[in-house]
């Protein structure tokens, strides 16, 4: 029988997450002995809803307790998790200043590079609120409120439902905290930028039957600009590139025509000190005058967070407890990129012949980077979360049964404010007819029919940056007229109700036959509304439309833990775990997913474990009901006679009305002379309401060895394999055209429209369940706490992940299905390894961590200049020149002192030796020639924590 006291009673969490050794237990143990506290002998772990006394090694789980979190120089959950060896590339990193949309500014975790939307994140066993894209933002959770983090590296859809394909991250918060704790942390890069400030306060009080804990936190991280780092200051291809590789859209305006008297047609820009109204004062622009956009761009975005978390719990009776979590969080992220590279031909907005600023007297196309007004975006997220639970236990004979009923209401409100994209409505007017009035002021319209300055401001795009004068973008009034503020808004809601019951059905010869059953109803709804300018396409920003939709589901699960053998030779323990979950969605239908696991302990110090799990990911609101976007795609029309692999004249092309001898038409409806060729018409891409769930199968097998002759040593080795099918991926124009016309699949032709001359005048290519992938590898963990020595206590934690396979299904240039091996690409490292060494001596401590990343590969951008070390590499029968880089190791160090006034002072540095990663010209997870997951410099910090 399990003995429990009211102060220690912790009910089963609705989402079945581990509450092993919760803060309540630790806090209660510190209370006086007259409270008669009792150690709980049945605990839960992530990945199972059945309590047990020895289940912490049944599945591959990593636990980061609060002590481990405090030994790292990070101020967000995601930064800590990103350093796990099993973590993949960040979905949207702070190095993606060019990223746009609802999810920008969030912090996301991706286990095994299977995608952040395939890693389920929980807070105290209940889902975090997700965006319409299905991403769960870890920045919602204040760092100071965290007690520990548990990471299950295994599929768990049978336990938690959708999204738990790669694994589960559970953030467990502090509860029944008694006293107060205040912390201040400050840090910056040794370059003198990226200042980080964090202030937090945790206070709590508890009585005989309950308590309240409050954590409040403020965090601000300043941005870092690309011009201040060696790899990003020079241009898109690294520090040593010349202006000839920069964008030809200069901050000095240029128009297309004959430069000077009798000059040849070229892009003409004003001579220094020249008269902008005199054609003879212009010259053909040279590469030295091109703009380096990186000079205005952020390398790392700025972020500010304010959050308050409250936990309240109360023992209603000796067997029933009420618990509630309340969270409020505000996050603001700042982005800045260079002024827009305006090209009038792209918007059909030439400088009018009737403009007072036109030196030619006829309409001319022009180029000019809008350098005076960099593009900025402020992304604000407000989160409100309320999660109440009533839990309890009861006895049936000698067996204890746990139950709980709970609810979750989570709401995320997003507001994005953008500035720096030009209004095309205003641009047409500003570039149209204008004159110089009697006061010498430029004015829209004509002298006979003027337009007031309050309604229109003329713009002279030919004035160089920094030159004042009529129509200059340096004029605040002109900026106000041409550059409005754009506002996107969004809201997502997660609502769920749960009921769970677990206990022991019977006691078998080998142990208790455990069971857990439960029900969950969940509703997800979301809406993201781009600004009216984006929806109409009347700005230089990307066009977008509204995303709006919802779905709901009902789920039932059952889990059994069956002990088969115990205390026998070569079978100290043999246990089988089986779980299955039925999910019924109101949009696509139902799905059933099961999991099978075993635990075999042949001898006391050796454990063998394995699992087989089915999983799924339901399409997100954005996948199903997202808005549409437009683009001018480059593609190969197989019905064109000159196209590689042409099938002109076959039945499919003839049925589509393509004439014999048709040549693919490109921009300006001119026959294409090179392939791929860009369409003259906008193609549309977007969501697909007919999507089905992604499906997966995962397998793990491993051992845990704790040799009895080496006390304090634990070694684990796990093998894993994941296969995902029906992956939701963006379809491609070329793939659709091959399927329709080459392979003759008529179902793929529906979105293609051709004009009378045969060219494709419009096309829709949305999301589809076309993706497949498989990954396989090994995780090795070695932990050793050495015997205490005269010089202190040492502990070693060495974690290594090895990826043996990461394959994706794709197509080659001929449309044939191929397998693409991606191991070694940035983020998909063959080997990642972390070595941590901790030392304690009295009140002093030090923590050292080594982070190793194996070498990377990328496709060559050129065969010149020695960039390409494998120019003859062949993949799937096609030329695939590669460039390889070496391995990288970063070192972190923290030293701390426990002061006699109950305070802790810590000093530390991440990337203490200021290691520089290699240039990566493919700019992976970044907008620059550098991997976005690597440190961008040495970060030094100081932390002070006072306890009361």
Model confidence over 658-673: pLDDT tens digits?
Answer: 999 999 998 778 888 8
Pairing state between β 167-173 and 119-123: parallel
| 700, pLDDT greater than 60 | yes
State residue 239's pLDDT score. 64
- Confidence label for 164 from pLDDT (cuts 50, 70 and 90): very high
pLDDT average, residue stretch 842-846:
96
In the three-class reduction of DSSP (H, G, I as helix; E, B as strand; rest coil), residue 293 is classed as helix
Give CA torsion, residues 937, 938, 939, 942, to 10 deg.
Answer: -170
Burial of 484 from C-beta contacts in 10 A (0-12 / 13-18 / 19+): middle
Structure token digits, residue 298? 């952020």
DSSP run (H or E) holding 621: helix 621-625
- 399 vs 394: CA distance, rounded Å: 8
**CB-CB neighbours of 901 under 10 Å:** 7
Structure token digits, residue 257? 């025509």
Percentage of the chain beyond pLDDT 90 is: 64
Q: In what order do the strands lie in the sheet with 146-152?
A: 61-65, 146-152, 167-173, 119-123, 126-127
| 264, pLDDT greater than 70 | yes
Phi, psi (rounded to 5 degrees) for 184? -130, 130
Taken in order 103, 104, 106, 107, the sign of the CA dihedral is positive
- 45 vs 43: CA distance, rounded Å: 7
In the three-class reduction of DSSP (H, G, I as helix; E, B as strand; rest coil), residue 229 is classed as coil
Nearest partner of 329 among 380, 388, 377, 378, judged by Cα: 380
Q: Are 119 and 515 in contact (CB under 8 A)?
A: no
pLDDT average, residue stretch 218-228:
95
- 653 vs 508: CA distance, rounded Å: 70
State residue 6's pLDDT score. 32
State residue 13's pLDDT score. 31
| 261, pLDDT greater than 80 | no
Nearest partner of 51 among 331, 359, 287, 400, judged by Cα: 400
State residue 924's pLDDT score. 85
| 557, pLDDT greater than 80 | yes
| 237, pLDDT greater than 80 | no
In the three-class reduction of DSSP (H, G, I as helix; E, B as strand; rest coil), residue 372 is classed as coil
- 474 vs 372: CA distance, rounded Å: 6
Q: Are 855 and 884 in contact (CB under 8 A)?
A: yes
Q: What is the pLDDT of residues 481-533, one digit of tens each?
A: 999 999 999 999 999 999 999 999 999 999 999 999 999 999 999 999 999 99
State residue 79's pLDDT score. 84
Q: What is the pLDDT of residues 43-70, one digit of tens each?
A: 566 677 776 545 456 788 888 888 888 8
State residue 307's pLDDT score. 95
| 24, pLDDT greater than 50 | no
**CB-CB neighbours of 304 under 10 Å:** 17
Burial of 558 from C-beta contacts in 10 A (0-12 / 13-18 / 19+): middle
Q: What is the pLDDT of residues 185-210, one digit of tens each?
A: 999 999 999 999 999 999 999 988 99
Listed ranges 88-92, 241-245, 285-289, 631-635; the one with the highest mean pLDDT: 285-289
How high does pLDDT run on average in the chain?
88
In the three-class reduction of DSSP (H, G, I as helix; E, B as strand; rest coil), residue 536 is classed as helix
Q: Are 206 and 904 in contact (CB under 8 A)?
A: no
Nearest partner of 291 among 239, 343, 235, judged by Cα: 235
| 382, pLDDT greater than 70 | yes
State residue 922's pLDDT score. 83
559 DSSP 8-state letter: E
257-266, 443-452, 618-627: lowest mean pLDDT where?
Answer: 257-266
State residue 818's pLDDT score. 87
Q: Are 320 and 391 in contact (CB under 8 A)?
A: yes
- Confidence label for 18 from pLDDT (cuts 50, 70 and 90): very low
| 2, pLDDT greater than 50 | no
State residue 36's pLDDT score. 38
| 869, pLDDT greater than 50 | yes
pLDDT average, residue stretch 727-753:
89
| 407, pLDDT greater than 70 | yes
Taken in order 875, 877, 880, 884, the sign of the CA dihedral is positive
State residue 15's pLDDT score. 32
| 235, pLDDT greater than 60 | yes
pLDDT average, residue stretch 850-865:
84
| 23, pLDDT greater than 50 | no
| 410, pLDDT greater than 70 | yes
Q: Are 821 and 807 in contact (CB under 8 A)?
A: yes
Cis peptide before 757 (omega within 30 of 0): no
- DSSP track, 720-778: EEEEEEEEEEE--HHHHHIIIIIS--GGG-TTEEE-TTS-EEEEEEEEEEEEEEEEEEE
| 359, pLDDT greater than 50 | yes
- DSSP track, 156-208: -HHHH-TT-SSEEEEEEE--S--EEEEEEEEEEETTS---EEEEEEEEEEE-S
Q: Are 499 and 537 in contact (CB under 8 A)?
A: no
Q: Which of residues 721 and 677 earns the better pLDDT score?
A: 721
Q: Are 85 and 62 in contact (CB under 8 A)?
A: no
Q: What is the pLDDT of residues 924-943, one digit of tens each?
A: 888 888 998 999 999 999 99
Q: Are 507 and 518 in contact (CB under 8 A)?
A: no
DSSP run (H or E) holding 905: strand 903-910
State residue 296's pLDDT score. 93
Q: What is the pLDDT of residues 630-654, one digit of tens each?
A: 777 888 899 999 888 889 999 999 9
Q: Which of residues 688 and 890 earns the better pLDDT score?
A: 890
In the three-class reduction of DSSP (H, G, I as helix; E, B as strand; rest coil), residue 102 is classed as coil
Nearest partner of 588 among 168, 162, 166, judged by Cα: 162
Tell me which residue has tokens 């029900």. Answer: 519
Nearest partner of 422 among 431, 412, 411, judged by Cα: 431
């Amino acid at each position: 029988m399990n003995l429990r006291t009211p102060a220690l009673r912790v009910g089963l969490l609705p989402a079945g997450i581990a509450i092993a050794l919760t803060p309540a237990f630790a806090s209660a143990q510190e209370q006086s002995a007259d409270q008669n506290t009792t150690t709980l002998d049945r605990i839960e772990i992530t990945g199972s809803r059945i309590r047990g006394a020895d289940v912490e090694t049944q599945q591959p789980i990593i636990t980061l307790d609060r002590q481990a979190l405090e030994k790292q120089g990070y101020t967000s959950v995601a930064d800590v998790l990103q350093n796990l060896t099993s973590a993949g590339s960040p979905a949207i990193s702070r190095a993606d200043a060019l990223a746009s949309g609802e999810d920008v500014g969030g912090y996301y975790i991706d286990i095994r590079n299977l995608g952040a939307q395939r890693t389920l994140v929980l807070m105290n066993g209940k889902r975090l609120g997700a965006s319409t894209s299905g991403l769960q933002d870890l920045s919602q959770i204040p760092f100071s409120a965290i007690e520990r983090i548990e990471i299950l590296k295994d599929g768990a859809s049978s336990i938690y439902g959708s999204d738990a394909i790669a694994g589960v991250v559970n953030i467990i918060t502090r509860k029944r905290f008694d006293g107060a704790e205040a912390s201040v942390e400050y840090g910056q890069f040794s370059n003198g930028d990226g200042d980080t400030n964090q202030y937090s306060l945790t206070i709590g009080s508890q009585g005989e039957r309950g308590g309240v804990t409050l954590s409040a936190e403020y965090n601000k991280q300043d941005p870092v600009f690309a011009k201040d780092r060696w790899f990003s200051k020079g241009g898109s291809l690294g520090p040593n590139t010349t202006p000839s590789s920069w964008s030809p859209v200069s901050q000095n305006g240029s128009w297309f025509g004959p430069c000077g008297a009798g000059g040849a047609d070229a892009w003409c820009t004003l001579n220094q000190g020249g008269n902008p109204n005199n054609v003879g004062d212009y010259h053909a622009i040279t590469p030295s005058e091109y703009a380096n956009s990186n000079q205005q761009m952020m390398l790392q975005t700025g972020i500010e967070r304010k959050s308050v978390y409250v936990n309240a719990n109360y023992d209603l009776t000796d067997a029933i407890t009420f618990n509630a979590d309340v969270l409020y969080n505000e996050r603001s992220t700042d982005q800045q990129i260079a002024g827009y590279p305006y090209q009038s031909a792209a918007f059909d907005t030439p400088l009018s012949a009737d403009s007072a600023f036109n030196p030619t007297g006829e309409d001319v196309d022009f180029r000019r980077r809008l350098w005076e007004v960099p593009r900025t975006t402020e992304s604000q997220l407000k989160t409100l979360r309320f999660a109440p639970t009533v839990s309890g236990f009861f006895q049936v004979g000698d067996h204890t049964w746990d139950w709980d009923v709970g609810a979750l209401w989570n709401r995320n409100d997003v507001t994005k404010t953008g500035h720096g994209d030009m209004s095309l409505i205003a641009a047409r007017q500003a570039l149209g007819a204008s004159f110089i009035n009697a006061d010498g002021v430029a004015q829209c319209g004509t002298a006979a029919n003027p337009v007031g300055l309050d309604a229109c401001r003329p713009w002279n795009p030919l004035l160089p940056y920094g030159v004042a004068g009529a129509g200059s973008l340096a004029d605040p009034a002109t900026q106000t007229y041409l550059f409005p503020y754009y506002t996107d808004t969004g809201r997502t809601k997660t609502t769920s109700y749960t009921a769970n019951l677990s206990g022991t059905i019977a006691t078998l010869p080998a142990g208790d036959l455990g069971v857990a059953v439960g029900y969950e109803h969940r509703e997800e709804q979301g809406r993201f509304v781009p600004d009216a300018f984006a929806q109409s396409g009347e700005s230089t920003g990307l066009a977008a439309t509204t995303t709006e939709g919802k779905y709901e589901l009902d789920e039932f699960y059952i889990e059994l833990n069956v002990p088969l053998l115990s205390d026998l030779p070569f079978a100290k323990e043999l246990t089988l775990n089986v779980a299955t979950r039925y999910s019924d969605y109101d949009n696509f239908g139902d799905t059933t997913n099961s999991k099978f696991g075993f635990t075999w302990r042949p001898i006391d110090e050796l454990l063998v474990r394995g699992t087989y799990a089915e999983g799924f990911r339901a399409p997100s609101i954005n996948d199903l009901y997202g808005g549409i976007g437009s683009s001018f795609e480059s593609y190969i029309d197989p019905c064109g006679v000159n196209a590689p692999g042409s099938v002109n004249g076959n039945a499919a092309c003839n049925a589509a009305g393509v004439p014999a001898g048709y040549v693919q038409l490109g921009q300006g409806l001119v026959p294409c002379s090179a392939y791929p060729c860009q369409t003259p018409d906008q193609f549309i891409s977007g969501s697909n309401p007919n999507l089905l769930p992604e499906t997966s199968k995962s397998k793990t097998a491993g051992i845990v060895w704790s040799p009895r002759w080496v006390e304090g040593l634990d070694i684990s080795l796990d093998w894993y394999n994941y296969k995902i099918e029906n992956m939701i991926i963006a379809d491609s124009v070329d793939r659709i055209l091959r399927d329709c016309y080459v392979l003759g699949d008529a179902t793929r032709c529906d979105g293609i429209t051709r004009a009378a001359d045969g060219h494709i005048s419009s096309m829709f290519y949305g999301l589809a369940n076309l993706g497949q992938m498989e990954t396989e590898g090994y995780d090795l963990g070695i932990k050793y706490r050495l015997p205490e020595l005269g010089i202190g206590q040492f502990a070693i934690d060495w974690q290594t992940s090895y990826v043996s396979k990461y394959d994706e299904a794709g197509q080659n240039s001929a449309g044939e299905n191929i397998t693409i091996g991606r191991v070694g690409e940035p983020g998909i490292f063959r080997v990642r390894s972390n070595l941590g060494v901790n030392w304690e001596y009295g009140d002093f401590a030090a923590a050292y961590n080594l982070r190793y990343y194996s070498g990377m590969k990328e496709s060559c951008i050129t065969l010149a200049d020695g960039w390409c070390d494998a120019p003859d590499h062949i993949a799937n029968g096609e030329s695939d020149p590669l460039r390889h880089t070496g391995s990288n190791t970063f070192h972190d160090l923290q030293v701390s002192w426990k002061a006699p006034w109950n305070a802790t002072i810590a000093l530390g540095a991440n990337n203490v030796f200021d290691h520089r990663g290699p240039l990566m010209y493919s700019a992976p997870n970044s907008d620059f020639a550098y991997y976005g997951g690597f440190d961008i410099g040495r970060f030094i910090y100081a932390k002070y924590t006072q306890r009361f």
